[in-house]
Amino acid sequence: MGNDGGSIPTRRELVKSTKGERTSSELFEQNLLNATFVWSTCLLSKRPLELPVVSDYLGHLYNKDSILEWLISPENFGDGEAIVPHIKSLKDIVELKITKDETSGKWTCPVTGKELKAGGSKFDYLPECGHVFAESAFREIDTDNCLECGLKYNKDNVVTINPTTKSDVEANKARMERLINGGLTHSLKSVSNKKRRKNGEDANEKKGKKKSKAGESIHNEETLRMTKKVLESVQHDMNSRKRSEAIQDLYLKA
């Protein structure tokens, strides 16, 4: 991937605007998508991107452990509500299966060999399986099956990674609207009954079902391992703060 990064712009810098020009939100979106750091840095934690990497319906990239921590302890992220207000569960993300070149260590398209980077070729992924390809790969091989695993996919579900054109941005958003209307999430899993009732889509469903527990959407062994790691990290930070306070009290009493 390279992770050559450079400086990471703050939200304040990204939304800076002058009178008569585009709105702050429009500038934020455009600068965000054009910046190099979105291809090498987790948008939520501001740490370098490292596998496993996940993506939301907008095509933005995040470290999976950062998203897990966000879902468990959102208070740890000061700007989390501004960055990922739409990520409420693991159903709202897709884990990407990115090909890593054995020689260079860079992230590439398994078909064309093109590098996944800012200013490079346009890249898409398939939510059905998570595999990532350069857009040109789909043009070279016209098929409804994933070029890596062979899983059948819907071309209307293809998501553009860090889109830079208005048409690609709108296409990602329009796809999400279609899924919501169909009772599906970004990962193509069913929307919870609670959300359906809230949206008025299942008005005749029985009420009073118990709320889903926070960890219900965590199924596989890898996710459980990462969740445990995040929890241990949070507990370590809490213990460190307690030790610091205890030491400070000792000095005050001395």
pLDDT tens digit string along 73-118?
999 998 999 999 999 999 999 999 999 999 999 999 999 999 998 8
pLDDT reading at 53 higher than 90 = yes
pLDDT reading at 132 higher than 80 = yes
pTM above 0.85, yes or no: no
E strand map for 17-121: 53-55, 61-63, 94-95, 99-100, 107-108
Per-residue buried b or exposed e for 101-117, using 16+ beta carbons within 10 Å of the residue's own CB: eeeeeebbbbbeebbbb
Are 40 and 1 in contact by the 8 Å Cβ rule? The answer is yes
| pLDDT reported for residue 92 | 98
Are 59 and 172 in contact by the 8 Å Cβ rule? The answer is yes
Are 122 and 160 in contact by the 8 Å Cβ rule? The answer is yes
Mean pLDDT score of the chain, rounded to an integer? Answer: 79
| pLDDT reported for residue 106 | 94
Confidence of residue 198 (pLDDT cuts 50, 70, 90): low
